[in-house]
Structure 1
Amino acid sequence: MNPVVLRTVARMMTPVLLLLSLVLTVRGHNAPGGGFVGGLLAASAFFLYFIASDARTVQRLVRAHPVILMAVGLLVILGSGTLPMLFGRPFLTGLWTRVSGPWGSEIDLGTPLLFDLGVYLVVFGTTLSFMLSMEKGSEEEEDNERRGA
Protein backbone atom coordinates (compact mmCIF):
# COMPACT_ATOMS: atom_id res chain seq x y z
CA MET A 1 0.00 0.00 0.00
CA ASN A 2 1.14 3.51 -0.76
CA PRO A 3 2.44 5.14 2.46
CA VAL A 4 0.82 8.46 1.53
CA VAL A 5 -2.58 6.79 1.23
CA LEU A 6 -2.07 4.92 4.51
CA ARG A 7 -1.07 8.11 6.35
CA THR A 8 -4.07 9.97 4.93
CA VAL A 9 -6.48 7.19 5.90
CA ALA A 10 -4.92 6.97 9.38
CA ARG A 11 -5.28 10.74 9.88
CA MET A 12 -8.93 10.61 8.85
CA MET A 13 -9.92 7.41 10.65
CA THR A 14 -8.19 7.92 14.02
CA PRO A 15 -10.62 10.62 15.26
CA VAL A 16 -13.61 8.63 14.00
CA LEU A 17 -12.43 5.46 15.75
CA LEU A 18 -11.71 7.38 18.97
CA LEU A 19 -15.20 8.89 18.95
CA LEU A 20 -16.72 5.48 18.32
CA SER A 21 -14.66 4.02 21.18
CA LEU A 22 -16.06 6.65 23.55
CA VAL A 23 -19.62 5.99 22.36
CA LEU A 24 -19.17 2.26 22.96
CA THR A 25 -17.75 2.95 26.41
CA VAL A 26 -20.49 5.35 27.50
CA ARG A 27 -23.36 3.16 26.34
CA GLY A 28 -21.73 -0.03 27.66
CA HIS A 29 -23.46 -0.07 31.03
CA ASN A 30 -26.91 -0.18 29.39
CA ALA A 31 -26.17 -1.94 26.08
CA PRO A 32 -23.43 -4.01 24.43
CA GLY A 33 -20.07 -2.31 24.67
CA GLY A 34 -18.20 -1.04 27.67
CA GLY A 35 -14.75 -0.01 28.73
CA PHE A 36 -12.94 -3.09 27.47
CA VAL A 37 -14.28 -2.87 23.92
CA GLY A 38 -13.90 0.92 23.88
CA GLY A 39 -10.31 0.74 25.12
CA LEU A 40 -9.41 -1.84 22.48
CA LEU A 41 -10.96 0.29 19.75
CA ALA A 42 -9.06 3.38 20.94
CA ALA A 43 -5.82 1.40 20.94
CA SER A 44 -6.65 0.11 17.46
CA ALA A 45 -7.05 3.68 16.25
CA PHE A 46 -3.57 4.53 17.46
CA PHE A 47 -2.23 1.22 16.13
CA LEU A 48 -3.41 2.29 12.68
CA TYR A 49 -1.54 5.56 13.17
CA PHE A 50 1.48 3.59 14.47
CA ILE A 51 1.60 1.51 11.27
CA ALA A 52 1.28 4.62 9.11
CA SER A 53 4.00 6.58 10.94
CA ASP A 54 6.09 5.62 13.98
CA ALA A 55 6.09 5.29 17.77
CA ARG A 56 7.26 8.86 18.40
CA THR A 57 4.28 10.26 16.50
CA VAL A 58 1.87 8.10 18.51
CA GLN A 59 3.52 9.12 21.80
CA ARG A 60 3.24 12.78 20.80
CA LEU A 61 -0.46 12.34 19.96
CA VAL A 62 -1.36 10.50 23.17
CA ARG A 63 0.62 12.94 25.39
CA ALA A 64 0.36 10.66 28.44
CA HIS A 65 2.64 7.77 29.29
CA PRO A 66 0.79 4.43 29.06
CA VAL A 67 1.67 3.59 32.68
CA ILE A 68 0.01 6.85 33.80
CA LEU A 69 -3.12 5.91 31.84
CA MET A 70 -3.18 2.48 33.49
CA ALA A 71 -2.66 3.96 36.97
CA VAL A 72 -5.39 6.58 36.53
CA GLY A 73 -7.72 3.88 35.20
CA LEU A 74 -7.09 1.68 38.23
CA LEU A 75 -7.73 4.64 40.54
CA VAL A 76 -11.02 5.39 38.76
CA ILE A 77 -12.05 1.73 39.08
CA LEU A 78 -11.15 1.75 42.78
CA GLY A 79 -13.03 5.02 43.25
CA SER A 80 -16.14 3.68 41.54
CA GLY A 81 -16.04 0.68 43.84
CA THR A 82 -15.43 2.53 47.10
CA LEU A 83 -17.84 5.42 46.46
CA PRO A 84 -20.90 3.31 47.43
CA MET A 85 -19.18 2.41 50.71
CA LEU A 86 -19.37 6.10 51.70
CA PHE A 87 -23.16 5.71 51.56
CA GLY A 88 -23.22 2.48 53.57
CA ARG A 89 -23.54 0.23 50.53
CA PRO A 90 -21.35 -2.77 49.61
CA PHE A 91 -18.23 -2.40 47.45
CA LEU A 92 -19.02 -1.98 43.71
CA THR A 93 -22.75 -1.39 44.27
CA GLY A 94 -24.12 0.83 41.52
CA LEU A 95 -25.12 4.34 42.55
CA TRP A 96 -27.34 6.19 40.09
CA THR A 97 -28.51 9.73 39.56
CA ARG A 98 -30.67 11.28 36.88
CA VAL A 99 -29.39 14.39 35.09
CA SER A 100 -31.28 16.68 32.74
CA GLY A 101 -30.01 16.22 29.21
CA PRO A 102 -30.41 18.17 26.00
CA TRP A 103 -33.88 18.79 24.55
CA GLY A 104 -35.67 17.90 27.76
CA SER A 105 -34.29 14.38 27.98
CA GLU A 106 -32.98 12.74 31.12
CA ILE A 107 -29.71 10.83 31.38
CA ASP A 108 -28.97 8.16 33.98
CA LEU A 109 -25.42 8.46 35.29
CA GLY A 110 -23.88 6.06 37.74
CA THR A 111 -20.80 4.41 39.12
CA PRO A 112 -20.90 1.65 36.45
CA LEU A 113 -20.00 4.36 33.92
CA LEU A 114 -17.01 5.36 36.09
CA PHE A 115 -16.00 1.71 36.26
CA ASP A 116 -16.22 1.44 32.45
CA LEU A 117 -14.12 4.59 32.02
CA GLY A 118 -11.50 3.13 34.34
CA VAL A 119 -11.43 -0.12 32.38
CA TYR A 120 -11.17 1.93 29.17
CA LEU A 121 -8.05 3.68 30.46
CA VAL A 122 -6.45 0.46 31.74
CA VAL A 123 -7.05 -1.43 28.49
CA PHE A 124 -5.99 1.52 26.33
CA GLY A 125 -2.83 2.09 28.39
CA THR A 126 -1.91 -1.60 28.45
CA THR A 127 -2.40 -2.08 24.73
CA LEU A 128 -0.56 1.16 23.94
CA SER A 129 2.33 0.08 26.17
CA PHE A 130 2.52 -3.25 24.36
CA MET A 131 2.46 -1.53 20.97
CA LEU A 132 5.21 0.94 21.89
CA SER A 133 7.36 -1.83 23.37
CA MET A 134 7.15 -3.69 20.04
CA GLU A 135 8.72 -0.66 18.39
CA LYS A 136 11.52 -0.59 20.98
CA GLY A 137 12.19 -4.29 20.38
CA SER A 138 12.46 -3.81 16.61
CA GLU A 139 14.81 -0.82 17.10
CA GLU A 140 17.08 -2.94 19.32
CA GLU A 141 17.13 -5.74 16.73
CA GLU A 142 18.09 -3.27 14.00
CA ASP A 143 20.89 -1.88 16.17
CA ASN A 144 22.20 -5.40 16.82
CA GLU A 145 22.11 -6.22 13.10
CA ARG A 146 24.06 -3.04 12.26
CA ARG A 147 26.70 -3.90 14.85
CA GLY A 148 26.91 -7.46 13.55
CA ALA A 149 25.86 -9.10 16.80
Structure 2
Amino acid sequence: MNTVIFRTAAPILAALMIMFSVFVLLRGHNEPGGGFIGGLIGASGIAIYGIACGVEATRKALKVHPISLAGFGVFLAALSGFLSLPAADPFLTGLWVTFFVEGAEIALSTPMLFDIGVYFVVVGAVGTIALTLEGGEDED
Protein backbone atom coordinates (compact mmCIF):
# COMPACT_ATOMS: atom_id res chain seq x y z
CA MET A 1 0.00 0.00 0.00
CA ASN A 2 2.24 2.72 -1.30
CA THR A 3 -0.19 5.34 -2.60
CA VAL A 4 0.44 9.05 -2.53
CA ILE A 5 -2.80 9.69 -0.67
CA PHE A 6 -1.93 7.20 2.09
CA ARG A 7 1.63 8.51 2.47
CA THR A 8 0.26 12.06 2.70
CA ALA A 9 -2.56 11.31 5.13
CA ALA A 10 -0.71 8.85 7.39
CA PRO A 11 1.35 11.38 9.39
CA ILE A 12 -1.74 13.46 10.12
CA LEU A 13 -3.78 10.38 10.99
CA ALA A 14 -1.00 9.03 13.23
CA ALA A 15 -0.76 12.35 15.08
CA LEU A 16 -4.53 12.43 15.60
CA MET A 17 -4.52 8.84 16.85
CA ILE A 18 -1.75 9.56 19.35
CA MET A 19 -3.56 12.65 20.62
CA PHE A 20 -6.78 10.66 20.94
CA SER A 21 -4.89 7.89 22.76
CA VAL A 22 -3.70 10.41 25.36
CA PHE A 23 -7.30 11.64 25.74
CA VAL A 24 -8.50 8.06 26.30
CA LEU A 25 -5.67 7.49 28.79
CA LEU A 26 -6.57 10.54 30.89
CA ARG A 27 -10.31 9.98 30.58
CA GLY A 28 -10.07 6.42 31.87
CA HIS A 29 -10.43 7.27 35.54
CA ASN A 30 -13.98 8.58 35.33
CA GLU A 31 -15.24 7.01 32.09
CA PRO A 32 -14.40 3.85 30.13
CA GLY A 33 -10.87 3.78 28.82
CA GLY A 34 -7.46 3.96 30.39
CA GLY A 35 -3.89 2.95 29.84
CA PHE A 36 -4.43 -0.27 27.92
CA ILE A 37 -6.96 1.00 25.39
CA GLY A 38 -5.11 4.29 25.00
CA GLY A 39 -1.87 2.40 24.42
CA LEU A 40 -3.46 0.25 21.73
CA ILE A 41 -4.73 3.35 19.93
CA GLY A 42 -1.29 4.98 20.15
CA ALA A 43 0.47 1.85 18.90
CA SER A 44 -1.99 1.70 16.00
CA GLY A 45 -0.95 5.23 15.06
CA ILE A 46 2.70 4.14 15.10
CA ALA A 47 1.85 1.12 12.95
CA ILE A 48 -0.01 3.23 10.39
CA TYR A 49 2.91 5.62 10.17
CA GLY A 50 5.26 2.65 9.76
CA ILE A 51 3.19 1.16 6.95
CA ALA A 52 3.03 4.46 5.08
CA CYS A 53 6.52 5.87 5.60
CA GLY A 54 8.63 2.82 6.34
CA VAL A 55 10.18 1.38 9.47
CA GLU A 56 13.36 3.48 9.39
CA ALA A 57 11.41 6.74 9.08
CA THR A 58 9.16 5.66 11.95
CA ARG A 59 12.12 4.84 14.20
CA LYS A 60 13.66 8.25 13.41
CA ALA A 61 10.35 9.98 14.15
CA LEU A 62 10.00 8.18 17.51
CA LYS A 63 13.53 9.22 18.61
CA VAL A 64 13.41 6.37 21.18
CA HIS A 65 13.25 2.64 20.52
CA PRO A 66 9.74 1.42 21.36
CA ILE A 67 11.01 -1.31 23.68
CA SER A 68 12.59 1.44 25.80
CA LEU A 69 9.11 2.93 26.18
CA ALA A 70 7.89 -0.45 27.44
CA GLY A 71 10.71 -0.60 30.01
CA PHE A 72 9.95 2.93 31.17
CA GLY A 73 6.29 1.95 31.54
CA VAL A 74 7.16 -1.03 33.73
CA PHE A 75 9.29 1.30 35.86
CA LEU A 76 6.39 3.78 36.28
CA ALA A 77 3.90 1.04 37.12
CA ALA A 78 6.23 -0.44 39.75
CA LEU A 79 6.98 3.02 41.13
CA SER A 80 3.26 3.66 41.60
CA GLY A 81 3.08 0.56 43.77
CA PHE A 82 6.13 1.39 45.87
CA LEU A 83 4.91 4.94 46.60
CA SER A 84 2.36 3.54 49.04
CA LEU A 85 4.97 1.78 51.18
CA PRO A 86 6.31 4.93 52.96
CA ALA A 87 2.71 5.71 53.95
CA ALA A 88 2.56 2.28 55.68
CA ASP A 89 -0.07 1.09 53.21
CA PRO A 90 -0.02 -2.18 51.26
CA PHE A 91 1.67 -2.36 47.85
CA LEU A 92 -0.37 -0.70 45.06
CA THR A 93 -2.69 1.14 47.46
CA GLY A 94 -4.10 4.24 45.79
CA LEU A 95 -2.86 7.60 47.09
CA TRP A 96 -4.09 11.03 46.02
CA VAL A 97 -2.53 14.48 46.21
CA THR A 98 -4.60 17.57 45.41
CA PHE A 99 -3.15 20.87 44.17
CA PHE A 100 -4.98 24.15 43.68
CA VAL A 101 -3.72 26.15 40.71
CA GLU A 102 -5.45 29.46 39.98
CA GLY A 103 -8.71 28.26 41.49
CA ALA A 104 -8.67 24.91 39.70
CA GLU A 105 -8.32 21.69 41.61
CA ILE A 106 -5.80 19.21 40.17
CA ALA A 107 -5.78 15.72 41.67
CA LEU A 108 -2.78 13.46 41.04
CA SER A 109 -2.91 9.82 42.07
CA THR A 110 -0.91 6.64 42.03
CA PRO A 111 -3.62 4.85 39.98
CA MET A 112 -3.11 7.48 37.29
CA LEU A 113 0.66 6.89 37.42
CA PHE A 114 -0.01 3.16 37.07
CA ASP A 115 -2.27 3.79 34.04
CA ILE A 116 0.43 5.94 32.44
CA GLY A 117 2.88 3.09 33.00
CA VAL A 118 0.49 0.61 31.37
CA TYR A 119 0.08 3.04 28.46
CA PHE A 120 3.84 3.15 27.86
CA VAL A 121 4.15 -0.65 28.17
CA VAL A 122 1.42 -1.24 25.59
CA VAL A 123 2.69 1.42 23.17
CA GLY A 124 6.24 0.11 23.47
CA ALA A 125 5.45 -3.60 23.21
CA VAL A 126 2.86 -3.39 20.44
CA GLY A 127 4.90 -0.75 18.61
CA THR A 128 7.96 -3.00 18.72
CA ILE A 129 5.96 -5.95 17.42
CA ALA A 130 4.39 -3.87 14.64
CA LEU A 131 7.69 -2.37 13.50
CA THR A 132 9.41 -5.76 13.60
CA LEU A 133 6.67 -7.34 11.50
CA GLU A 134 6.70 -4.44 9.05
CA GLY A 135 10.50 -4.40 8.75
CA GLY A 136 10.93 -7.91 7.46
CA GLU A 137 14.67 -7.96 8.21
CA ASP A 138 16.78 -8.29 11.34
CA GLU A 139 16.81 -5.00 13.22
CA ASP A 140 18.18 -4.04 16.62
> What displacement does 1:101 show?
4.7
Whole-angstrom CA distance in 2 between matches of 1:61 and 1:32: 30
SS in 2 for 1:128: helix
> What displacement does 1:14 show?
1.6
Counterpart residue identity of residue 26, structure 2: V
SS in 2 for 1:93: coil
Corresponding residue for 1:17?
17
Q: For residues 1-149 of structure 1, what are the structure 2 equivalents within 5 Å?
A: 3-101=3-101, 104-136=103-135, 138-139=136-137
Moved over 6 A (4+): none
Whole-angstrom CA distance in 1 between matches of 2:30 and 2:89: 21
SS in 2 for 1:87: coil
Whole-angstrom CA distance in 1 between matches of 2:89 and 2:64: 34
Q: Which runs of 5+ in 2 are unaligned?
A: none
Assess if the C-alpha contact under 8 Å between 2:39 and 2:122 holds in 1.
yes
Whole-angstrom CA distance in 2 between matches of 1:2 and 1:63: 24
SS in 2 for 1:92: coil
Counterpart residue identity of residue 33, structure 1: G
Larger radius of gyration: 1
> What displacement does 1:29 show?
2.0
SS in 1 for 2:64: coil
Whole-angstrom CA distance in 2 between matches of 1:125 and 1:27: 21
Give the root-mean-square deviation of aligned CA atoms.
1.7
> What displacement does 1:30 show?
2.2
Counterpart residue identity of residue 71, structure 1: G
Higher helix share: 1
> What displacement does 1:2 show?
6.5
TM-score using structure 2 length: 0.90
Whole-angstrom CA distance in 2 between matches of 1:133 and 1:108: 38
> What displacement does 1:99 show?
2.0
Corresponding residue for 1:145?
none
